[in-house]
Amino acid sequence: MSIEDLRGEVERLRRRESELLAEVARLRAGREPHAPSTASEAGVGTLRPDLLFTAADKTRMAMIVTDPNLPDNPIVFANRAFLELSGYAAEELIGRNCRFLQGPETDPAHVARIRDAIAARRDVVVELLNYRRDGSPFVNELYVSPVFGPHGELLFFFGSQLDLTRFREQEGNAVRRGASFRSLLEDGDAGFCIIEMRFDGEGRAEDYRFVEVNAAFERQSGLANAEGRWMRELEPELEQHWFDTYGEVARTGRDARFRGAASRLGRVFDVHAVRIGSQVQNRVAVLFEDATARQEGEERREARNRDNLVERDLVWRTSRDLLVVCDLDGSIRAVGPAWTETLGWPAGSLVGVRIDSLVHADDQEAASSAFEMLRAGLPLSDLDLRFRTADGGHRWISWNAIPQGAPCGD
């Protein structure tokens, strides 16, 4: 579950628990809510206070209730989730002020915010460092809300706790990862940038802003003065696949390695993209190199290979030499048309036949020695052997062969 999903669930639970406490306050004040007119309207308002506290006790959200009408605003209720989170037993909590959860690294400014909100009788959400009974720290997103009676009198303070320790550790690792990227690449030849994604109302990536770029960024990307600016501003017609790819990295945390073309920039890039920071920051670190020259070189080599294949095919089809491709065990894989013209064998009839089966019996020893040389990686030239014709006769053929699958034959 992402931290956004967790916070959504937390907010739902907090609203529910606030309703429970408000209902308890009304019941304790002797003001029963109106009876529901239908069964479908029946809900929290029909529950007795003990059942309400039972429901609160079983919720997954860690929560407490304090009584500001008692000296030092002590805890008067703590549910099981809070006991599990803090490590304390109920008898160790009830009657004490919540400050005992604070420790040496708790930020006094955060504590002051809570104190001011309680004095002003208003809601407050604070992320602060608290300590469990065993002394281990945890990052606590604390929500405090006052509960008022029917005449506006302050009855309780409701507090819920969300343990963010795991998420903050993940965020710290990601931040350190980004710092490592920067330190390694600041003086390197590769381009590097940190971008911040922007999503539309339907969750699709629509733009990204360059938060930071390194010295090689402009040379590698061709984009000048990019830091602090949005990509759509720099290049309005950039292909959507760039935004989609980086958006997916920001959302899922899965790295992306790819080669992509930016036709509007006239370049091809080799890219490694990694999410840094927390998911809610929507930031991605991008390491890239201009691969345009490399791509063009590969395309030229592929074109040459295609041309070579065309030329070889033309030679294969028109040559009057007996061209043959065979495995190193002598099995024929392909033969040129000249085998039909010279030896009379129909096209395709020799595929799969061992070539030494076509050699005259008196030349078998020479043929065997020839294949030993080919298997050793040595070429052959001008080896005269008698090959059988389709009508049962034999013709002398001067055999030249090159190992590793190149055509061999007359």
- 310 CB-contact burial (10 Å; exposed 0-12 / middle 13-18 / buried 19+): exposed
Give kind and range of the element (H or E) at residue 193: strand 191-199
3-7, 227-231, 278-282: which range is least confident on average? 3-7
Q: Cite the DSSP H helix spans in 200-346.
A: 217-221, 231-234, 240-252, 292-318, 338-343
At residue 54, the pLDDT reads 57
Residue 30: which H helix or E strand, with range? none
In the structure, what pLDDT confidence band is assigned to residue 19 with cuts at 50, 70 and 90? low
Q: Which two tokens stand for residue 282?
A: 């929507």
Closest CA to 244 of 287, 202, 290: 202
- Its pTM stands at 0.39
- Say if residues 268 and 292 touch (Cβ distance below 8 Å): yes
Q: Mean pLDDT, to the nearest integer, of 341-363?
A: 89
Q: Which ranges constitute the DSSP H helices of 267-408?
A: 292-318, 338-343, 364-375
- pLDDT band, very low/low/confident/very high, at 22 (cuts 50, 70, 90): low
Domain residue extents for the chain: 3-163, 168-294, 313-409
Q: How far apart are CA 295 and CA 264, in angstroms?
A: 16
* pLDDT tens-digit readout, 220-275: 898 999 999 999 999 999 999 999 999 999 998 889 999 888 888 888 899 999 88
Residue type, 292: T
Q: Order of strands across the sheet with 154-163?
A: 75-78, 62-66, 154-163, 137-148, 124-131
Task: Judge whether residue 185 has pLDDT over 70.
Answer: no
pLDDT tens track for 364-398: 999 888 888 888 888 888 889 999 999 999 999 88
Does pLDDT of 179 surpass 70? no
How do strand 323-326 and strand 332-335 relate by DSSP bridges?
A: antiparallel
The amino acid sitting at 54 is T
Phi and psi at residue 388, to the nearest 5°: -75, 140
Please state, in angstroms and rounded to a whole number, the distance separating the CA atoms of residues 146 and 390: 103
Handedness of CA 188, 190, 191, 195 (dihedral sign): negative
Predicted confidence band of residue 348 (pLDDT cuts 50, 70, 90): confident
Find out whether 284 and 276 touch, Cβ atoms under 8 Å.
yes
* H-assigned helices in 240-285: 240-252
Class of domain 313-409: alpha beta
CA distance linking residue 137 with residue 128, whole number of Å: 10
- The residue among 237 and 189 whose pLDDT is bigger is 237
H or E element that contains 192 = strand 191-199
Per-state percent for the chain, helix, strand, coil, to nearest 5: 40, 30, 30
Could you name the CATH architecture of 168-294? Answer: 2-Layer Sandwich (3.30)
| Cβ–Cβ < 8 Å for 316, 407 | yes
The rounded distance, in Å, linking the Cα atoms of 348 and 390 is: 13
What DSSP state is assigned to residue 239? Answer: -
Q: Judge if 3-163 and 168-294 fold alike in CATH terms.
A: yes
Q: With 60 as the cut, is the pLDDT of residue 324 above it? A: yes
**pLDDT at 322 exceeding the cut of 90:** no
What is the CATH code for 3-163?
Answer: 3.30.450.20
